């Protein structure tokens, strides 16, 4: 079957029952990062059933990653699925819909695989919620030779190119000297005081942060007994910024505050740093083409919306590796709920969530076909990517 936009839409509509059932099944069985064994099995089984051929499971050395390809040669476009959930609040990020949308787009394109001028792959990317699955897949070479990548994310409004912040974590451990808190407090050195002072010092520096910086922390060890001057204390901070350069500057400030607090309290301090995600570089050429597809499907997306805040995603890392988009589509009314809330988890299993998932599938399928059929479009996408490097 030759593919045109209407044929793609029709394929997605024919698959709608199956896609909704699959998405609701994943929603009803939330699995945490790198533990998405059921979800990746169900997604792989659905793809195999529809394609009549095998799906690569455990791709890139990650047990819950998978990949399937249709078409031949270049250009190569990847459509990404996420399917991990959050502790306690389940699919409150709506990754079940991301998975269903990706499968829908891919299978619609697969039905006309023989006439595709290039190839399309669906890549199942585990552990977006903290595990950085896409980073591991990049390092394993899974995205080598891919010309462009896309996914969609559920939200409370339609936005084509919203920023995502780069991020990192710093765990801070303080070592003091224990002493009887009543009989001999003068003999002790409090690790907890240094820990608490670090929070206060960081707050004092917020006035110097650039727009978009976020520093948020928790105390992970505040001591064991109230009648002992605390020997061991610990905290953990997440740092986020709009650029890697600003993140590095804020990192220095946080380390300085912890060292200053430790100096004042005469305790020792040590750090364990963990990289997070890179900032999202939305490919506007591709995002606008996706937007045109959305408009043709009756939606009215904005390019961006300064009124809503930004989080972080491992799609940011991929967006610096190859041209990528990460558009957001509404599964509820504006302001009704945002990702990581209980209400949003309900929306991710609702009729509206399912219908948005189908629109996303159609728009991704159309955009993929545009990229494969239109060398000028792909050239413009590449040129924008190279110019931003
Ligand atoms: Zn999330
Ligand atoms: Zn998410």
Report pLDDT digits (tens) over 162-194. 999 999 999 999 999 999 999 999 999 999 999
pLDDT for 240-260, tens place per residue?
A: 999 999 999 999 999 999 999
User: 175: which 2 tokens?
Assistant: 């070592």
- Ligand 2 centroid to 86 CA: how many Å? 9
Phi and psi torsions of 3, nearest 5°: -100, 130
The pLDDT assigned to 1 comes to 55
For 378, list phi and psi in degrees, rounded to 5: -65, -35
User: In whole angstroms, how far apart are CA 77 and each of 122, 143, 191, 358?
Assistant: 9, 10, 52, 19
Quick check: 132 pLDDT over 60?
yes
Give me ligand 1 centre to Cα 91, in Å: 9
State the pLDDT confidence band at 3, using cuts at 50, 70 and 90. confident
Surrounding ion ligand 1 within 5 Å at CB are 93
CA 93 to ligand 1 center in whole angstroms: 5
User: For the segment 312-368, what is each residue's pLDDT rounded down to a tens digit?
Assistant: 999 999 999 999 999 999 999 999 999 999 999 999 999 999 999 999 999 999 999
Q: What pLDDT does residue 272 have?
A: 98
82 φ, ψ (degrees, to nearest 5)? -115, 155
Q: What spacing in Å lies between the alpha carbon of 167 and ligand 2's midpoint?
A: 15
Give the ligand whose atoms come closest to the C-alpha of residue 154: 2
Q: What is the pLDDT of residues 60-117, one digit of tens each?
A: 999 999 999 999 999 999 999 999 999 999 999 999 999 999 999 999 999 999 999 9
Distance CA 190, CA 326 (A): 46
Which residues pair with residue 129 across a beta bridge?
Answer: none
Backbone angles phi, psi at 365, to 5 degrees: -65, -45
Ramachandran area for residue 335 (φ above 0: left; ψ -120 to 50: alpha; else beta): left
The alpha carbon of 364 is separated from its chain's Cα centroid by a whole number of angstroms, namely: 18
- Nearest CA among 90, 116, 8, 99 for reference residue 45: 99
User: CB atoms < 10 A from the CB of 198, how many?
Assistant: 27
In the three-class reduction of DSSP (H, G, I as helix; E, B as strand; rest coil), residue 86 is classed as strand
Q: What's the whole-number mean pLDDT along residues 217-244?
A: 97
Which positions ≥6 away from 308 have C-beta within 8 Å? 156, 157, 159, 162, 338
Peptide bond between residue 104 and the one before it cis (omega within 30 degrees of 0): no
The per-residue DSSP string of 44-77 comes to: HHHHHHHHSS--EESGGG-TT-EEEEEE-SSSEE
Say if residue 389's pLDDT is above 90: no
What is d(CA 356, CA 161) in angstroms, rounded to the nearest whole number?
17
Residue 153 Cα, ligand 2 centroid: separation in angstroms? 7
CA geometry: angle 79, 377, 380, nearest 5 deg:
105
Q: Are 276 and 169 in contact (CB under 8 A)?
A: yes
């Amino acid at each position: 079957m030759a593919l045109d936009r209407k044929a793609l839409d029709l394929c997605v509509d024919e698959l709608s029952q199956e896609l909704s059932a699959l998405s609701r099944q994943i929603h009803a069985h939330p699995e945490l990062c790198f533990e998405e064994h059921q979800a990746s099995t169900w997604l792989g089984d659905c793809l195999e059933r529809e394609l009549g051929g095998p799906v690569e499971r455990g791709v890139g050395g990650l047990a819950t990653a998978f990949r399937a390809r249709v078409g031949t040669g270049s250009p190569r476009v990847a459509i990404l699925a996420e399917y991990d959930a959050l502790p306690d609040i389940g699919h409150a990020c709506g990754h079940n819909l991301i998975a269903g949308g990706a499968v829908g787009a891919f299978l619609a394109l697969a039905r006309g695989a023989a006439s595709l001028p290039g190839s399309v792959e669906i890549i199942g990317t585990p552990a977006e919620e903290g595990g950085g699955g896409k980073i591991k897949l990049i390092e394993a070479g899974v995205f080598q030779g891919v010309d462009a990548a896309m996914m969609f994310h559920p939200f409370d409004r339609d936005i084509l190119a919203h920023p995502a912040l780069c991020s990192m974590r710093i765990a801070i451990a303080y070592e003091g000297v224990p002493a009887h808190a009543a009989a001999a407090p003068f003999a002790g050195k409090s690790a907890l005081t240094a820990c608490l002072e670090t929070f206060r010092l960081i707050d004092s520096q917020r006035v110097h942060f650039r727009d978009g910086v976020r520093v948020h922390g928790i105390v992970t060890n505040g001591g064991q007994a109230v009648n002992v001057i605390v020997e061991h204390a610990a905290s953990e901070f997440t740092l986020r910024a709009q650029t890697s350069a600003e993140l590095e500057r804020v990192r220095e400030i946080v380390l300085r505050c912890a060292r200053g607090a430790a100096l004042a309290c005469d305790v020792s301090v040590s750090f364990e740093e963990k990289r997070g995600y890179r900032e999202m570089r939305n490919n506007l050429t591709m995002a606008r083409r996706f937007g045109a597809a959305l408009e043709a499907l009756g939606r009215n997306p904005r390019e961006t919306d300064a009124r809503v805040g930004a989080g972080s995603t491992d799609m940011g890392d991929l967006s610096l590796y190859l041209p990528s988009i990460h558009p957001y589509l509404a599964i509820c009314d504006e302001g009704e709920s945002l990702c990581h809330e209980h209400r949003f988890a309900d929306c991710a299993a609702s009729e509206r969530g399912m219908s948005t998932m189908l629109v996303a599938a159609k728009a991704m399928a159309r955009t993929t076909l545009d990229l494969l059929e239109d060398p000028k479009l792909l050239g413009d996408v590449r040129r924008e990517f190279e110019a931003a490097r």
